[in-house]
Every structure is written in C-alpha cells, then in structure tokens.
Amino acid sequence: MNIYNYKFKTIDGEDATLGEFKDKVLLIVNTASKCGFTPQFTDLQKLYEKYNSKGFEILGFPSNQFAEQEPANNDEVKSFCEINFGVTFPLSEKVEVRGNDAHPLFKYLTDKVAFKGFDMNNPSAKHLHDFLQEKFPDYLLGDSIKWNFTKFLVDRQGNVVERFESPIEPMGIEENIKKLL
C-alpha cells in the first residue's frame, strides 16, 4: 500500500483520493479550530499560496480528538477556516487521527515516520510536553499523533519524508518544502 491508495471524504462530503495529488509535494496536517496552534492556519495558507503553483499541496484533516478542540460540524469548520484564515487548501471531513478508529492514512503516516520527541528548547514544545505529561500521559507513548497540527511532509514520489510536531511553526519548515520542489 502506498500513500496514493488512501481515500478520504472532503469537508464537502465528496469522495477523494490521495492519488489526485500524485507528483506533488504534500503537507498533511491534522487541524482544529479551537487550539492554541490554530493560528498556524495563517502560515499554512501563506505556504500554500507561495508554492502551490510549483506543485505543493496542503491537506488539512480536522479532528476533535484532542480536548474536543474541533467541536463544530464540517460546514462550520470550513466557514471558520475560510473566514478567519482565508484557507483555500483542501480540507477533509472530521476524522480520528489516533487510536483504533484513526483514519487509515494517519495509521500509515505514523508507521512511516516515528515520533522523535519534542524540542524541549522550544517553549511551546516544552509546554505541550508538560501538559500532555500531566493530562494525557498515554499520548506521549509510541508514534501516534500527539496533538493538533502535527505535520507530515511527503515528496513527489509519495514517500513520507519528515514529521513535524505541533509546536513547529509552518514557516519553520519552508526550507524542507523548497528542497522537495
């Protein structure tokens, strides 16, 4: 199985496949509208506008799994992202991204690129780690998604090449994207 075999429903309820994005550099992100990392939508959109014409795509997968930070329905999520952040990159319907009911794509992504820990020199990363340690210690185990806005970078051949944890700002991975374009 490769990444292009995975299917999903768009936020508008239409069937889609990652095969539609073959030969493109992809950034796959699990998102939420009520998270401390939600402002990352701004820079995600900037990256999308800057590099989309060069073969770069972002796919956002809203999830309500982390402290119920995506309680809205799909229509509300879409409106929120468009109105508040001008999001024009594709979004999926709400999905699970960790655990037994995780969308198969996220099981695949976390199997391909392991969790390497948080950069404890980054104050946001340290804060998230400490929060998870206190409130959701089991989230820190294994390679599963730890929180909203975990980002996976996929090359034009469909290889999952890098994983960036929630506190890593989108503009902080611009050079990684440019190398694959």
The residues assigned a catalytic role are: 35
The H or E element spanning position 47 is: helix 40-51
Q: How many angstroms separate the CA atoms of 41 and 47, rounded?
A: 10
Q: What residue type is 154 in one-letter code?
A: V
How many CB atoms within 10 Å of residue 75? 11
Torsion of CA 112, 51, 103, 141, to 10 degrees: 50
Helix, coil or strand: residue 164: strand
The H or E element spanning position 60 is: strand 56-62
Q: Which of 73, 84, 53 is nearest to 13 (CA)?
A: 73
In terms of residues, how long is the chain? 181
Q: How many angstroms separate the CA atoms of 72 and 167, rounded?
A: 23
Helix, coil or strand: residue 57: strand
